[in-house]
Amino acid sequence: METTLWDDLREPPTRMQRWSAVLRKQPSAFLLAVQLLVIILLPWLQDLTYGRVALSVLSLCALTVAVFTVRSTPALTWLSVTLGLPAGILEIWSTVQDDNSLIVALAHTTLSLFYFYTAYGLVAYMFEDAWVTKDELFAVGAAFTVLLFAFAYLFLAIQEIWPGSYIGHREGDYRSFLELLFYSAANLTSVGLSDVVAVGPQARAVSILEQLAGVMYVAMVISRLVALTVMRNQQR
């Protein structure tokens, strides 16, 4: 019986088993890939007739991967599910009733809270021990993109409640998700290269918080890597 089990382990794994093993060992890499895929597809999705539906489907996929990723972090998985489940339901509901400002704002706010909690889990995961694994390196990028989307969804909720909070080169009181994601990236990276400007008081307040979050995140990651490098050199 022992020989049979040992022989079974020697059998080459299937492609599905390989991907499953990679997903278990490096969930942050999958989350980062999904977030980047959404960014790449956004220019085409927003021009489609059912672009809002397609974006919601991608958001749900990102939600699922994010919940799976949180399982590998010190964050509470049940709390992640508690935030992610209503976020997914409200996102679908807002797609069906896109003229209901309350539902749309609530959906975006819930998604934003979920992404903020996911970012917290990833940051706690990076600072959990004194070793840097390959997945923790992917978590650095994943946490940054998660924060990027968290603030973008929060901006969407703000402009739904207070129309005209953001202005850009196009006329109208509402900016597209890609525009606000672009604005979020400009804030979080502190480059300031964006044609979207926050003019509402609530929008400006949240923009300041994102700018501070971006600076503090980079400072924390650099200090973490420097500290680990110094510790490793002292142990030699």
What pLDDT, on a 0 to 100 scale, did the predictor assign at position 5?
47
N-term to C-term CA, the chain: 46
Q: In this predicted model, what pLDDT tens digit does every residue of 167-180 receive, in sequence order?
A: 988 888 899 899 99
Q: What pLDDT is stored for residue 4 in this prediction?
A: 47
Q: What is the pLDDT of residues 183-219, one digit of tens each?
A: 999 999 988 888 999 999 999 999 999 999 999 998 8
Q: In the block, which residue shows the tokens 């889990």? A: 121
Distance CA 236, CA 226 (A): 16
Distance CA 19, CA 176 (A): 34
Close Cβ partners of 219 (under 8 Å, ≥ 6 residues apart): none
Q: Which helix (H) or strand (E) holds 197?
A: strand 197-198
Sites in the chain below the pLDDT cut of 70: 1-24, 49-53, 56, 229-230, 232-236
At a CB cut-off of 8 Å and minimum separation 6, what does 70 contact? 77, 80, 117, 118, 121
Cα 39 to Cα 98: distance, rounded to the nearest angstrom: 22
Cα–Cα distance for residue pair 70/63, rounded to 1 Å: 11
DSSP 8-state symbol, 14: P
Residue 23 has a pLDDT of 60
Residue in the block written with tokens 């397609």: 54
Q: What pLDDT was estimated at residue 78?
A: 84
Tokens of 151: 């603030």
- Whose tokens are 């942050």? That residue is 28
| 32, HSE (Cβ side, Cα atoms, 13 Å) | 16
